[in-house]
Amino acid sequence: MPEEFVVTPWEVRGQIDYDRLITEFGTERITSELLERLQRDAGELHPMLRRGIVYSHRDLNWILDEYEKGHPFALYTGRGPSSGIHVGHMLPWFFTKWLQERFRATLYFQITDDEKYLFRDFEELGEATKVGYENVLDIIAMGFDPKRTKIFLDTEYIHHLYPIAVEAAKRITFSTTQAVFGFENANNIGEIFYTSLQAAPAFLPSVDAGREIPVLIPCGIDQDPHFRIARDVAPRLGYPKPALIHNKLLPSLLGPGGKMSASVPESGIFTTDSLALAKRKVLNAFTGGRATVEEQRRLGANPYICSIFANYEFIFEPDDGHLAEVERTCKSGERLCGDCKLELWGKVESFLRRHQEARERAKARIEKFILRD
């Protein structure tokens, strides 16, 4: 990995070169031909596809081959419940919801409370489970179809997951996990075993159906290493390799060189932030603006390093025409950062109000979604 940036499942740092990540990780770019095919099969393209935010994949052509032959695929995604949810976490979930709707796919949503305990985010396992249930409220609030969505916590669905994880674990060597995750002697043995449990839901749809079901995993590109092991082990277990579709990462509100992070609360908007706090974060965010109004009017600003523009582009402005107008007026100097932030805040505010209401209602709907043994 080049020194100037780092992208791993645990750490994202520096100015990310997404093209180089495709080469480093050995994934494939989503080409214009593949976009046309997605458009044909889905009937439309999600803005994240049109804008190249969802930009990389593994075996997506195969998923569409199967789909076009009448073999539906399942979706698998997950959440490591280390903290509350910020909008950066939700980025792949917005896209997953679109995939579920357009392809009528069943979604398996794994909550890895065991992982977050094993990897030392919590002193007590019960704490991880509790945060897991808080995160489940956000997932339900996003509007996934209860008839096609199965959410489970590892500690509560282990009878189903464990036999698959054991089959996977028998075929994964310690040296493989060392090579992929950099484990050392000081790592606890739960951490080393854990990857087999993360692989299990990729095969669960096939186990449930008693036949091969293709699985597509939408995730941030930083999560790709987790699923390389699942893909390696799949043929030896008699299952198809899960396919992946990767999104870029929502930049931090604090500026270039990182993604939104739960460990830095000011870096992102959390779903449980008060409106006043969220507004303060937007108004204090890093921009590509000039030092003075006069300079900005004269020289224009730079949307490509601006966290406010990234939020318009990644999530809050679905209209391509208006996004282009924001970009143009930013560069020409017609738009000033204060106004631009307030306009974005209007969009964030209505999203947060809606989401927080839906999150409240989700408390009474958990049992419609949760699987337990």
Residues in contact with ligand SF4 by CB under 6 A are: 287-289, 301, 303, 306, 308-309, 326, 330, 335, 337, 340-341
Closest separation in Å from C-beta 51 to ligand SF4 = 15
In the bound state with ligand SF4, the residue whose beta carbon lies nearer, of 117 and 309, is: 309
Closest separation in Å from C-beta 297 to ligand SF4 = 11
In the bound state with ligand SF4, the residue whose beta carbon lies nearer, of 78 and 333, is: 333
- Three-state SS at 157: coil
Closest separation in Å from C-beta 53 to ligand SF4 = 16
In the bound state with ligand SF4, the residue whose beta carbon lies nearer, of 31 and 284, is: 284
In the bound state with ligand SF4, the residue whose beta carbon lies nearer, of 298 and 354, is: 298
In the bound state with ligand SF4, the residue whose beta carbon lies nearer, of 32 and 292, is: 292
Closest separation in Å from C-beta 333 to ligand SF4 = 9
Closest separation in Å from C-beta 215 to ligand SF4 = 38
> What is the pairing mode between strands 107-111 and 149-153?
parallel
In the bound state with ligand SF4, the residue whose beta carbon lies nearer, of 161 and 269, is: 269
- How buried is residue 207: exposed, middle or buried, by Cβ count under 10 Å (0-12/13-18/19+)? middle
DSSP of 228-244: HHHHHHHHHHT-PPPEE
Closest separation in Å from C-beta 287 to ligand SF4 = 4
Cite the DSSP H helix spans in the chain: 18-25, 32-42, 47-50, 60-68, 87-103, 113-118, 125-141, 158-170, 174-181, 189-199, 204-209, 224-237, 275-283, 293-299, 307-311, 320-332, 337-362, 366-369
In the bound state with ligand SF4, the residue whose beta carbon lies nearer, of 182 and 318, is: 318
Q: Is 65 left (phi over 0), alpha (psi -120 to 50) or beta?
A: alpha
DSSP of 185-227: TTS-HHHHHHHHHHHGGGTHHHHHHTS---EEEEEEGGGHHHH
CB atoms within 10 A of CB 9: 17
In the bound state with ligand SF4, the residue whose beta carbon lies nearer, of 174 and 304, is: 304
Closest separation in Å from C-beta 345 to ligand SF4 = 11
Instruction: Give the DSSP H or E segment for 250.
Output: none
Asked if residues 78 and 110 have their Cβ atoms less than 8 Å apart, the reply is: yes
Closest separation in Å from C-beta 325 to ligand SF4 = 11
In the bound state with ligand SF4, the residue whose beta carbon lies nearer, of 17 and 325, is: 325
Asked if residues 327 and 301 have their Cβ atoms less than 8 Å apart, the reply is: no
Cα–Cα distance, 246 to 55 (Å, whole number)? 6
Closest separation in Å from C-beta 330 to ligand SF4 = 3
DSSP 8-state secondary structure symbol assigned to residue 147 = G
CA contacts within 13 A on the Cβ side of 270: 16
Kindly report the backbone phi and psi dihedral angles of residue 164, in degrees, each rounded to the nearest multiple of 5, phi listed first: -70, -40
